[in-house]
Structure 1
Amino acid sequence: MRVDTRTLLLGDWTPVVRDGIDVLRLGILGGAVAYAVTGDWGAATLLALFGGITVVARLVNLPRLYDLSLTVAMALQGFGEVLGLYDEWGHFDDLVHFTLPMLTAPVVYIALARVEVVPDPRDETHLPHYVGIAVVTASLGISMGALWEIYEWRSDAWLGTNLSMDNDDTNGDLVRDTLGSLVGAALLVAWTRFGWGSVRRIPGVNTHEDVDA
């Protein structure tokens, strides 16, 4: 089968491995298997958990961009933990606190749209709706960041971990969570502005074709 640039970037290659996103997904799951073989069950379980989340994203047929976003976010979080990048590179935590809300908050919004809790990005949308999408998406990302900080605080107290350094560290994380959430919200508004929907499209299909899940 001849593979052109469009097919290489957008898929679908085969029914099993559709595109590069699936390759990354398999990389996370492969990492889980590799750590399990070496007997590091903590790392294996962590990667299996994050890999499982990406498999769910594939099953629900997220748009490619947001499937990629979620998969990259899970890879960053998973491999960052098991490879000790948080300890090895001081700014890795800063990177994750910015990118995770940016990449995952829009995915959570799309998930809510799929169950008709919020408007679908593909629906007819006007300025007040754009503002609402931005506010909801940013709020989701900021809330997830705040919940994570609460988890770190309680984990240190109850489990003896050392996740939360001090108030400056917590406040800095929340600032980066907020900035990432705002960027993610802006990107989702741009996605909405072009009328792209909440499900994966077949390459070449018109953006306004009925593609609801």
Structure 2
Amino acid sequence: MSDLEHLIEEALRPIGSGPPPPSRDLFARVLDSVADDRARRRRARRTVALWVAAVALVATLVLTLTPQSNGDLLMPWWILELATNLVLVAMAVWLGPFIKRFGRAYAADVFHDNPMTGKSYIVLTDIVYYLIFTAYICFTVTFAPTPEWDNDISALVTPQQLQSEVFRIGGILLVIGILHGLNIVLMPVLGRLFSLNRRVTNTHGTAPGPPA
């Protein structure tokens, strides 16, 4: 504790009083904090293990389904298309809870006057998020090679198809990033409007009526 903090504490302390007694539930709160930290670490390890297992499984499936010729892999176009769709689904499943976990505190601070409104707002944004991801996958999925891929004869993966699949992944990241940025900017405005609306409603509700 610095000298300034010590002087402030001495000035505000009542005369004749000793140091404040320790909190009775301090040890229990410390134990709860340690338990929560261990639980977070376990969840983080499980998440990493699941992602490693998923990547290993996808890689194994791709190598198993891809034929070989003289030691070279000849990957059909549909394997890369299927792998890209799996990556998009995995991104949707992972990004949603990730954004929600760090957005709860922000929403609670913005909607501190309307906690239920903040919870409803988070739920609605989750629905919009998954709808956007599902629509993007449905709009960009391919069921047959396109002329731009230049693989009509061989039906194998070409650099043009690989570029197209990378463009799909980058596109959804750009869309989610832009929408998430707009949400961060607009959320305080909405929180302020809801707070003002509630204050006006409470003021009108408690104001005396006109004289008879």
TM range (shorter): under 0.3
- The structure in which a higher percent of residues are helix is 2
Higher alpha-carbon Rg: 2
Q: TM-score, normalised by structure 2?
A: 0.28
